[in-house]
Amino acid sequence: MVQGTASHVGKSVLVTALCRIFRQDGYRVAPFKAQNMSNNSFVTPTGGELGRAQAVQAEACGVEPQVEMNPILLKPEADHTSQVVLLGKPAAKASARYFATAKPMLWQSVASSLDTLRSQYDVVVIEGAGSPAEINLKQNEIVNMRVALHSGAPVLLTGDIDRGGVFASLLGTMEILEPQERDAVGAYIINKFRGDVSLLEPGLVWLEERTGKPVLGVVPYYRDIEIAEEDSVSLEERQQLKSQTGYALDIAVMGLPHISNFDDFDPLKREPGVRLRYVESRDSLGEPDLIVLPGTKTTMADLSWLRERGFAAEIKRQADAGTPIIGICGGYQMMGRRIFDPDGVESPDPEAEGLDLLPVDTVFAPVKETHRVRGVVSSGSGLLARAESAAVEGYEIHMGSSTPTGEAVRPFRISRPGQPAADDGAISADGKTLGTYVHGLFNSYALRRALLEQLAGWKGVKLPPPSDTGGQLSRDGEYDKLAETVRHSLNMELLYCLTGLEPPEIE
């Protein structure tokens, strides 16, 4: 089990690395995180919903994600409540007080899910959440030390040295833990180190002597490995990136307060010649070559935010002037004429005006739609003019449906498991405004390159050649690079000793 001294110390990425390492060493391996709080989620083949990080970790393991890998997913909403997704399905809309009374039921789901995975796989790599030393949360905690003690898993306590104070964080965490919890800690990992590791040696020796626990390794800070993240802190870092120079295309993603599935746009970020930026202030929008309205957990609230910040009028002005606009899921809903919420799914307001960028009406429904989808571009015009018949593959997570009016063209033909093929999305008459429910749209290499080439053609610029196809082969390569970096940073003999597993035979 990987636990941390705080949020965003690198737990998710380290679990991903360990998953790939154990897979490389011949074990059947699966990830597990008892409880996530994130609007970045994914859909299993059976239509269940789980945190995006566990889907990434499952991919690193070479297995399909299943809801037991993340039995509890909390999706924050606009009114200080969260939608509770239990074993892949919405179960409640709850505030913090809900968890004190629901703890026995939630723990039963956590324990049974972990036990199920342990019966199916040789190794389960568990991820904690936040810190195990949060005194105000320990009484109802079901994601850190309670999981470790239930499973008997050795804990790798991880600290982020890039933040500073890593030795105080590790020692302070150990001091706050109960004796049996301290006993569960098998070793420390120092993460995100920059520089010469030998200069850190006195601190490592001091930590080991002070606590009696070994340091498993020091993992370097890296910039050349692309692994999808779900943490909102990683999104904040993306929003704070310094401006690039020498780009051919400028793509602005609206940094909505309740943005979801922001890793939808990572494939665009990796394309040479493309600057991808997240925009939260009206003054920073500028005149981009493409504006993207991303998914959101709360469409109505974030639509109001766009109006309050002056974005709605500016996006409408730029669309009328010919700036291409793409909306994904909640962003697609916003782009329509009207949104109806007769059952109060999102808001006490029964309806709201959309941005009127597409001839579409949306009606929210209490039942969440979660599907894996495959399909093709069925109408190649405008933004999709170079993408006719390109493959589309992704997933849907939304509550409600959007119905285009008679003059709207539906650009995608998609299939959901167990359902007949259907049309999806809408595209404007001039082809420059596009909406769809499909998350992961830009993972399609052919569609992504065709769309970028179309934008470049309209602008009169030339894109650099692509670095790779950006598909599964590319992601596998990133997992392998991550595994190599972490493997060479850790004492693998000690790791295998802690786990009780047989290390691989070295040829």
Of the spans 220-229, 303-312, 458-467, which averages the highest pLDDT?
303-312
The distance from CA 69 to its chain's CA centroid, rounded to whole angstroms, is 15
Extended strands (E) in 319-411:
325-328, 338-340, 351-353, 360-377, 391-404
* pLDDT greater than 60 at residue 66: yes
| DSSP 3-state of 472 | helix
What 170-173 contacts at long range (C-beta under 8 Å, 24+ apart), as own/partner pairs, is: 170/5, 170/207, 170/211, 171/207, 171/210, 171/211, 172/5, 172/133, 173/5, 173/131, 173/132, 173/133
Q: Where are the alpha helices (DSSP H) in 429-489?
A: 445-459, 472-487
Nearest to 387 by CA among 346, 425, 344, 348: 425
Residues 34-41 have a mean pLDDT of 90
Nearest to 249 by CA among 408, 65, 460, 413: 460
Give residue 189's region: left, alpha or beta (phi > 0; psi -120 to 50). Answer: beta
Say whether 494 sits in a helix, a strand or coil: helix
In the predicted model, what is the mean pLDDT of residues 294-305? 92
pLDDT band at residue 49 under the 50/70/90 scheme: very high
Q: Which two tokens stand for residue 446?
A: 């052919």
Kindly tell me if the per-residue pLDDT of 470 is higher than 60.
Answer: no
Q: How confident is the model at residue 230 (pLDDT cuts 50, 70, 90)?
A: low
Residue-wise pLDDT tens digits, 82-105: 889 999 998 888 877 777 788 889
Contact partners, residue 86, CB within 8 Å, separation at least 6: 71, 72, 92, 106, 109
Task: Please report, rounded to a whole number, the percentage of residues in the chain having pLDDT higher than 90.
Answer: 68
Decide if pLDDT at 457 tops 70: yes
Rounded to an integer, what distance in angstroms lies between the CA atom of residue 328 and that of residue 231? 20
Q: 3-class DSSP state for residue 501?
A: coil
Can you tell me the distance from the alpha carbon of 214 to that of 219, in angstroms, rounded to the nearest whole number? 15
Q: At what angle do helices 299-308 and 311-320 cross, to 10 degrees?
A: 80
Q: Residue 2: is its pLDDT beyond 90?
A: yes
Angle (deg, nearest 10), helices 11-24 and 52-61: 20
pLDDT band at 473 (very low <50, low <70, confident <90, very high): low
User: Which pLDDT band, with edges at 50, 70 and 90, does 242 fall under?
Assistant: very low
Q: Which pLDDT score is estimated for 236?
A: 52
Going by pLDDT thresholds of 50, 70 and 90, the confidence category of residue 435 is very high
pLDDT band at 240 (very low <50, low <70, confident <90, very high): very low
For the cut 70, the answer to whether the pLDDT of residue 69 exceeds it is: yes
Cα–chain-centroid distance for residue 89? 18
pLDDT at 503: 87
Strands 82-86 and 72-76 turn out to be antiparallel
Contact 353, 338 (CB under 8 A): yes
State the pLDDT confidence band at 223, using cuts at 50, 70 and 90.
confident
> What rounded mean pLDDT belongs to the chain?
90
- Look at the block and give the residue holding tokens 């404007």: 428
Whether the pLDDT of residue 34 is over 50: the answer is yes
In terms of pLDDT, which residue wins out, 407 or 214? 214
Asked if 197 and 161 count as a contact pair (C-beta separation under 8 A), the reply is no
Could you tell me the strand order of the sheet in which 82-86 lies? 35-37, 72-76, 82-86, 89-94
Q: What is the pLDDT of residue 38?
A: 86
The sign one gets for the Cα dihedral 171, 176, 180, 181 is: negative
Cβ-based burial of 473 (10 A; exposed 0-12, middle 13-18, buried ≥19): exposed
Q: How many beta carbons lie within 10 A of that of residue 395, not counting itself? A: 23
pTM, entire model: 0.85
Residue with tokens 């590790």: 170
| Residue whose entry in the numeric block shows the structure tokens 């309670």 | 146
- Give the tokens for residue 271: 């394309």
- The arithmetic mean of pLDDT across residues 147-173, rounded, is 95
**Phi and psi (nearest 5°) for 450?**
-65, -40
Least confident stretch, 108-112, 132-136, 151-155: 132-136
pLDDT at 241: 46
DSSP string, 237-265: HHHTPPPPSS-SEEEEEE--TTEE-GGGG
Check residue 347 and give its pLDDT: 81
Percent over 70 (pLDDT), the chain: 94
The residue type found at 395 is: Y
Question: What pLDDT is recorded for position 362?
Answer: 94
* Digit-coded pLDDT (tens) for 340-396: 998 888 888 888 999 999 999 999 988 888 999 999 999 888 999 999 899 999 999
On the question of pLDDT at 233 being above 50, the answer is no
CA–CA distance, 139 with 141 (Å, rounded to integer): 6
Rounded to whole angstroms, the Cα distance separating 128 from 4 reads 7
CA distance 472 to 378: 24
- Two tokens at 272? 């040479």
Is the predicted pLDDT of residue 79 greater than 80, yes or no? no
Flag whether pLDDT at 505 surpasses 80: no
As annotated, the active-site residues are 329, 439
State CA 284 to chain mean position distance: 25
**Is the Cβ–Cβ distance between 280 and 238 less than 8 Å?**
no
Sign of the dihedral through C-alpha 316, 322, 328, 329: positive
